[in-house]
């Protein structure tokens, strides 16, 4: 399918003509998608309004107040460089070259810069949020994490004594994620094949880490399913699931299922927690797996459930809040891939939204 710009549909009916249930349904169907340029000469967020049919319409650009790393393909080497808050009222972004983190207030598909603060380390590359806590992963040097309190207006306040180092030197961390209950913070170290688990204390600080060596080779992305299962995808083109114990150790549930792609790095879980999609940049395709109540993973159909055009180099991925649409950031072609989630979990391509700079260091995708 050739590349095209997707436009929203203008409804000519007056709002008062909608019954309350229809209006609520229409509002649920609409949303937004955000892309981070990661530009070295001024990082920006590109905003798109999402229509009920999943199509996108570019709305505006918003400066982060900092500089990205620049580069060509995947310079941040991370998942979660652009993160929406759980209530979708705030958006957080890293400015890798500036060593800062920016927060925005979300007003539909429009953004208002709220704050830009020092990340507490070198080369911030990923973020995670739970309640009024935001933690940033600084991947420069040996890597560390630092916590912030989030004010209702989006301002960020550093939490004293919240900085924690990772397990050793040259860890090459790639992902950071809160557990659904907010009791654990997980960090992936791709160079050491480890998943670090920290306990989160009531004051927002962290315990010492528990370093878990994972059977998932070259781990990259980490996500928690709503049932607490930790799912890790790796650049060895496999995906695994783990149970997290109270003491911060992990137990394997499903080990190293193949993704049937190359350069598998990013993943997304459907809002109902039943499916995880893993994106492979080298083959520009997407693998799909069901998640059981025990956390076990099973391939959907023949594993590959969707594909972008060859050369797309799809990186980060996101899903709409209603679980109906999956989006991919196609860094090689400067497009956003749009997919409709089918009843069997496969993905139907709806085309690509053009207009971004190809091979220009794009990193970070978020949607609601």
Question: Are the beta carbons of 347 and 305 closer than 8 angstroms?
Answer: yes
- In the chain, what percentage of residues exceed pLDDT 70? 92
- Under 8 Å CB-to-CB from 257, ≥6 apart: which residues? 238, 239, 240, 289, 297, 299
What integer is the mean pLDDT of 94-110? 98
For residue range 282-298, list pLDDT tens digits in order.
999 999 999 999 999 99
How high is the pLDDT of residue 127? 98
209, 198 contact by CB (below 8 A): yes
Residues of the chain with pLDDT > 90, as a percent, come to: 91
**Burial 227-261, CB ≥16 within 10 A → b, else e:** ebbbbbbbbbbbbbbbebeeebebeebbebbebbb
- Sorting pLDDT into bands at 50, 70 and 90, what band is 216? confident
Per-chain mean pLDDT for the chain: 93
Which one-letter DSSP state was computed for residue 236? Answer: T
* Res 278 pLDDT > 70: yes
How far is residue 310's CA from residue 333's CA, in Å, rounded to a whole number? Answer: 10
Q: Compute the C-alpha angle 30/327/173, nearest 5°.
A: 125
With a cut of 50, say whether residue 18 has pLDDT above it.
no
Which of 185, 237, 234 shows the shortest CA–CA distance to 214?
Answer: 234
DSSP string, 110-163: EEEEEEEEE-SSSSEEEEEEETTEEEEEE-STT-EEEEEEEPTTS-EEEPTT--
CA separation, residue 208 to residues 122, 142, 173 (Å)? 21, 16, 17
CA distance 149 to 141: 25
| Residue 8 CB-density burial (10 A; 0-12 exposed, 13-18 middle, 19+ buried) | middle
| 21 pLDDT above the threshold of 80 | no
**CA-CA distance, 135 to 119, in Å (whole number)?**
9
Q: How far is Cα 342 from Cα 337, in angstroms, rounded to an integer?
A: 16
* Domains of the chain, each with CATH number or no CATH: 29-367 (2.130.10.10)
Question: What contacts 13, CB < 8 A, 6 or more positions away?
Answer: none
pLDDT of residue 28: 53
Backbone Cα Rg of the chain: 19
120, 127 Cβ separation under 8 angstroms: no
304 touches 261 (CB < 8 A): yes
Q: How far apart are CA 234 and CA 200, in angstroms?
A: 25
The answer on pLDDT for 29 being more than 80 is no
What ranges in the chain are assigned the alpha helix state H?
20-29
Q: What are phi and psi of 90, to 5 degrees?
A: -135, 150
Taken in order 291, 238, 174, 348, is the CA torsion positive or negative? Answer: negative
Inform me whether the pLDDT recorded for 201 exceeds 50: yes
**Average pLDDT in the 323-347 region?**
98
Helices and strands in the chain, H and E counts: 1, 29
Which one has a higher pLDDT value, 19 or 128?
A: 128
φ, ψ dihedrals at 25, nearest 5°: -65, -40
């Amino acid at each position: 399918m050739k590349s095209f710009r997707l436009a929203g549909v203008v409804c000519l009916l007056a709002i008062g003509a909608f019954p309350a249930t229809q209006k609520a349904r229409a509002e649920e169907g609409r949303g937004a998608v955000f892309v981070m340029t990661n530009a070295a000469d001024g990082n920006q967020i590109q905003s798109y309004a999402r229509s009920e049919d999943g199509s996108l319409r570019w709305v505006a650009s918003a400066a982060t107040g900092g500089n990205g790393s620049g580069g060509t393909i995947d310079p941040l080497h991370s998942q979660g460089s652009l993160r929406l808050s759980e209530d979708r009222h705030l958006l957080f972004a890293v400015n890798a070259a500036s060593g800062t983190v920016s927060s925005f207030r979300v007003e539909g598909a429009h953004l208002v810069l709220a704050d830009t603060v020092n990340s507490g380390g070198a080369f911030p590359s990923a973020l995670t949020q739970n309640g009024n806590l935001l933690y940033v992963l600084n991947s420069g040097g040996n890597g560390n994490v630092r916590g912030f309190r989030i004010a209702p207006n989006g301002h960020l306040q550093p939490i004293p004594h919240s900085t924690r180092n990772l397990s050793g030197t040259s860890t090459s961390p790639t992902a950071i994620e809160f557990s659904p209950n907010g009791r654990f913070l997980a960090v992936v170290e791709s160079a050491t094949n480890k998943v670090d688990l920290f306990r989160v204390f009531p004051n927002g600080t962290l315990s010492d880490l528990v370093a878990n060596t994972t059977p998932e080779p070259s781990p990259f992305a980490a996500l928690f399913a709503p049932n607490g299962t930790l799912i890790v995808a790796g650049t060895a083109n496999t995906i695994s699931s783990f149970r997290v114990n109270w003491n911060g150790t992990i137990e394997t549930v499903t080990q190293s299922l193949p993704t049937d792609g190359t350069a598998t790095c990013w993943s997304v879980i459907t809002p109902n927690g039943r499916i995880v999609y893993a994106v492979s940049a080298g083959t520009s395709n997407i693998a799909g797996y069901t998640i059981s109540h025990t956390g076990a993973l099973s391939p959907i159909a023949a594993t590959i459930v969707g594909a972008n055009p060859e050369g797309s180099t799809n990186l980060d991925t996101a899903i709409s809040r209603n679980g109906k649409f999956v989006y991919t950031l196609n860094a090689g072609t400067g497009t956003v891939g749009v997919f409709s989630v089918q009843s069997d979990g496969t993905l139907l391509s709806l085309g690509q939204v053009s207009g971004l700079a190809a091979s220009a260091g794009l990193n970070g995708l978020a949607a609601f």
